[in-house]
Amino acid sequence: MARVTIDPVTRIEGHLRVEVEVDNGVIKDAWVSGGLYRGMETVLLGRAPADAFYVAQRICGVCPISHGHASTMGSEAAMGIKIPNNARIIRNIIEGAEALHSHILWFYTLTALDYVDVVSALSANIADTYALAEAAGTSTADFGAIQKRLKGFVEGGQLSIFTNGYWGHPAMKLSPELNLIAVAHYLEALEMQSEAAAIIAVMGGKFPHFMTSLPGGTVWIPTEQKLDDIYFRWQKVSNWINGAMIPDTIAIAAQYLPLAGYGKGVGNYLAWGVYDDKSMDPTKRAMPRGMLMGGLTLTQPDPAKIKEYIDHSWYESGDGLNPSVGETKAKFDAYSTDAKYSWVKAPRYDDKPVEVGPLSRMLVAYVAGDPDVKGLVDFTLAALGKAAGAAGPLPVTALQSLLGRVGARNLEAAFVAKKMGAWITELIDAVKGGDSTYFVDKSGEGEGAGLWEAPRGALGHWVGVKGGKISSYQVVTPSTWDCSPRDKNNVRGPMEEALVGTPIADPTKPLEALRIVHSFDP
């Protein structure tokens, strides 16, 4: 049995160490260690509630929008504020733009290089590449010019932006032509990310850390020119997702169907829901709230059933506390997989580990019967069933795997892109109708929680306000759920459990383990 350590894990946000035990080419055990202490909960104590909107965004450079919104929602709940309808629409659009930016960034820049062999693209036949792109229904590019640029990188002794990868690894299964298509779309994705980010910059003042969704609503006032700009950029990104990203996802997934056989994880899924409707009822969000525990029976989650354990985390806080009364008291000790080995706490729902993220959201929405989600998922399962030579579509349970976790994030991008078009139209109609209310100024005190979704998954900001100041603050991020260490019962967290059973062809190049880790977008 060999112990394999990946430290640091690259192409992620933050600092992560992964250790696995490999026996006869299969991972038998795993430990995931978060190497970064944030401590924002301590930083925010005693500050004005509006400060939390700005400070909490610094938790993440990829999903600051979600942290800003969850923080603001927590403060609004504590102070008894209900935001105007226009502010709701604007927040949905900004949140959606962040999701598109994040999902495109994740797939093409952070994850695709686990499946796409860049060097193999040098041997692609250009005519066959165009024919394959047409057959796959994906967009074309100047494949010859891109291959020539790539050849220049390699002959120059360096791969530039493609340096970090296990090229030639036996787990790489794509043809040279499909690799070249993916490289071409990797480059296009850089532009699409910037277009999505520009929507946020127009509405939020800047990106990544935007300025406008303060407690009370929004301080951004739309104009006809700004709305035209937003609509144009949304349409460009939306067309590219449907014309390149979704066909790429299906074409690549069809070559990696064995990945549906492992990486399931704990089999429990939580989503707080995201994108409010006019009622502001959290059970009626566009991406619904729900929980799936050990099966596909949908229930509504109860925040009171959350506890955070620190038995294997570097804290001296109270153990098993609900975030509403949680503590963040850091105390570093030695790194030991037998004792404490992570800055990440171990949140549990009803004392069980749960996975969060796009797979959780898409499964919850699918079981809830959302027609757009069902259409996307059923279309994909049918295409993959055909690729597998099956008599019909793959079962929805095939999503509970490494393959499903990767595919769900990209399918969600198409879902969000469609919804954004409706929200932009709704905002245009509101402005034309003379609705000019965007912000309410109100103070109060109490306790509240902003339970929302970041692109990475379920996000919660628990806020207490007293005397105009923040009296308590706790955050449970998506990666806290997914990257959690063992709990008091020595039960693994979702990522640790997903790693167990993963085949490893070469322990010196643990590509398969990295695929599992990157699938959670930690």
190 found inside a domain: yes
Q: How far apart are CA 433 and CA 274, in angstroms?
A: 26
pLDDT confidence of residue 51: 96
Quote the domain boundaries for residue 170.
38-267
433 found inside a domain: no
pLDDT confidence of residue 161: 79
In terms of domains, do 215 and 157 share one?
A: yes
286 found inside a domain: no
Residue 155 in tokens:
């002959």
Residue 202 forms beta bridges with which residues? none
24 found inside a domain: yes
319 found inside a domain: no
Among the listed residues 99, 57, 93, the one whose alpha carbon sits nearest the alpha carbon of residue 461: 57
Q: Which 8-state DSSP code applies to residue 274?
A: B
pLDDT confidence of residue 156: 86
Measure Cα distances from 163 to 117, 160, 370 in Å.
11, 6, 41
**Domain total of the chain:** 2
In terms of domains, do 358 and 252 share one?
A: no
Q: How far apart are CA 135 and CA 268, in angstroms?
A: 37
Phi, psi of 388 (to 5 degrees): -80, -5
In terms of domains, do 209 and 301 share one?
A: no
Residue 62 in tokens:
């990829």
Measure Cα distances from 113 to 62, 137, 148, 174, 359 in Å.
19, 22, 19, 11, 20
In terms of domains, do 309 and 210 share one?
A: no
In terms of domains, do 21 and 92 share one?
A: no
70 found inside a domain: yes
In terms of domains, do 111 and 210 share one?
A: yes
In terms of domains, do 231 and 363 share one?
A: no
pLDDT confidence of residue 238: 98
Which run of H or E residues covers position 464?
Answer: strand 457-466
pTM to 2 decimal places: 0.97
Give the end of a domain, one of 267, 301, 324. Answer: 267
In terms of domains, do 231 and 177 share one?
A: yes
In terms of domains, do 97 and 119 share one?
A: yes
Q: How far apart are CA 367 and CA 360, in angstroms?
A: 11
**Three-class SS of residue 294?**
coil
| Interval 321-374: pLDDT, tens | 999 999 999 999 999 999 999 999 999 999 999 999 999 999 999 999 999 999
Give the contacts of 451 (CB within 8 A, at least 6 positions apart). Answer: 70, 73, 272, 273, 282, 303, 458, 459, 460
- All residue ranges of the chain with pLDDT < 70 are none
pLDDT confidence of residue 121: 97
440 found inside a domain: no
In terms of domains, do 66 and 7 share one?
A: no
For the chain, percent of residues with pLDDT exceeding 90 = 96
Amino acid letter for position 133: A
Which run of H or E residues covers position 393?
Answer: none
pLDDT confidence of residue 479: 97
pLDDT confidence of residue 16: 97
488 found inside a domain: yes
In terms of domains, do 227 and 181 share one?
A: yes
pLDDT confidence of residue 404: 98
**Three-class SS of residue 28?**
strand
